[in-house]
């Protein structure tokens, strides 16, 4: 049996509604486990009572430190993993559908490189979390602006020029980041820049969620609402225009929303690779290329995956591992396997 027929058999055996319910339950389980594990283990019953005490008058029978750790450290970090993982996954799926290219990810337009340069700049000259988030978000958007402007210089295939321009802008910002690392203080600023570029949710807080969270949620909601238009664009420009779709405006909305999600995710968690590239492939194997189903599936899988990886990163060793290392160690072999086995094309 070929790989393509095997994928069709898997999709036929999985009802989309049941799959979404299963992935939602899986996300709840992974999130609960994430709240339980750490240097201080909190039993699930205690977690339920602590949450219930915020609504009902329940006398505390748990240490005060457990409640503080739960609400000030683990819950913001778990929610940050949910937002960043789901956001990177849906933006990757949207970009792949838009460009009809399975190798496209949120980083293709230079978002990550620009945001990384902004964060390195903030660490070097300001040293505050708020400055890191603001500058990484601003430079992430600026990188996309440069990419789009550069792609308009040459009047040739628009999608091809956009991708090539993204590669150029990404290389430019990566070189600028390397320059900042070269001139940074090797004992203070340099380690902070390197650790942030490797990705971490260690600094996630409730304030960060209130600032960055709405950007990711709004961008993802727009992509979900126009997912049927992504399907039409995936058929080709001429076919989409024949069906009444304003391809220029729709493409711009998709790029803007996916870029805002990616830049906001990078500003909160650093550069976390492979999620936007691998997770859409897994979702496509399960439900097929229909973006109306693929996008919500990608959100749930990406959120569960990043929460699980973050839990492993902070509990497997005495010192916390950067998330980017783990996502690369897991994502690269999976993607290589998918490329080898999936010979049926896009």
pLDDT score recorded for residue 79? 96
State how far the Cα of 271 lies from the Cα of 191, in Å rounded to an integer: 15
pLDDT tens column, 177-206: 999 988 888 877 888 888 888 888 988 888
Percent over 70 (pLDDT), the chain = 92
Burial 212-224 (b: 16+ CB within 10 A, else e): bbebbeebbebbb
Rounded-to-integer distance, Cα 265 and Cα 257, Å: 12
> In this predicted model, what pLDDT tens digit does every residue of 207-231 receive, in sequence order?
889 988 999 999 999 999 999 999 8
Q: What is the mean pLDDT of the chain?
A: 86
Q: What is the mean pLDDT of residues 71-98?
A: 93
Provide the CATH topology of domain 3-341. ABC transporter involved in vitamin B12 uptake, BtuC (1.10.3470)
Check whether 296 has a pLDDT greater than 60. Answer: yes
Quote the percentage of the chain above a pLDDT of 90. Answer: 33
pLDDT at 345 over 60: no
* Beta-carbon contacts of residue 42 (< 8 Å; ≥ 6 apart): 35, 36, 50, 62, 66, 69, 70
DSSP string, 294-314: HHHHHHHHHHHHHHHHHHHHH
The pair of structure tokens assigned to 19 is 């799959």
Per-residue pLDDT, 1: 47
Residue 53: other Cβ atoms inside 10 A: 15
Which regions of the chain does DSSP assign to beta strands (E)? none
11 has pLDDT over 60:
no
| pTM: predicted TM-score of the whole model, two decimal places | 0.88
Q: Are 324 and 272 in contact (CB under 8 A)?
A: yes
pLDDT band at 280 (very low <50, low <70, confident <90, very high): very high
Which residue's entry shows tokens 């409730």?
A: 206
């Amino acid at each position: 049996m070929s790989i393509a027929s095997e994928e069709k058999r898997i999709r036929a055996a999985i009802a989309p509604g049941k799959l979404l319910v299963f992935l939602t339950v899986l996300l709840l389980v992974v999130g609960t486990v994430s709240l339980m594990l750490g240097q201080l283990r909190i039993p699930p019953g205690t977690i339920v009572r602590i949450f219930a005490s915020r609504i009902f008058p329940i006398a505390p029978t748990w240490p005060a430190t457990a409640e503080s750790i739960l609400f000030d450290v683990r819950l913001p970090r778990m929610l940050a993993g949910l937002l960043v993982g789901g956001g990177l996954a849906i933006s990757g799926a949207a970009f792949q559908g838009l460009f009809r290219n399975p190798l496209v990810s949120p980083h293709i337009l230079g978002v990550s490189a620009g945001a990384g340069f902004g964060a390195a700049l903030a660490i070097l000259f300001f040293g505050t979390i708020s400055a890191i988030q603001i500058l990484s978000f601003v430079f992430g958007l600026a990188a996309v602006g440069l990419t789009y402007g550069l792609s308009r210089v040459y009047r040739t295939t628009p999608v091809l020029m956009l991708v090539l321009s993204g590669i150029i802008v990404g290389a430019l910002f990566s070189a600028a980041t390397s320059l900042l690392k070269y001139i940074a203080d090797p004992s203070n600023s340099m380690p902070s820049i390197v650790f942030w570029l490797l990705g971490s949710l260690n600094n996630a807080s409730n304030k960060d969620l209130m600032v960055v969270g709405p950007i990711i949620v709004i961008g993802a909601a727009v992509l979900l609402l126009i997912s049927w238009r992504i399907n039409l664009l995936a058929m080709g420009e001429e076919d989409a225009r024949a069906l009444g779709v304003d391809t220029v405006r729709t493409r711009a909305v998709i790029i803007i929303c996916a870029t805002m999600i990616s830049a906001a995710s990078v500003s909160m968690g650093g550069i976390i690779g492979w999620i936007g590239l691998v997770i859409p492939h897994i979702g496509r194997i399960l439900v097929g290329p229909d973006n109306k189903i693929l996008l919500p599936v990608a959100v749930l899988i990406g959120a569960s995956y990043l929460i699980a990886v973050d839990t492993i990163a902070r509990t497997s060793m005495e010192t916390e591992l950067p998330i980017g290392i783990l996502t690369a160690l897991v994502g690269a072999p999976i993607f290589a396997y998918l490329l080898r086995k999936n010979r049926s094309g896009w």
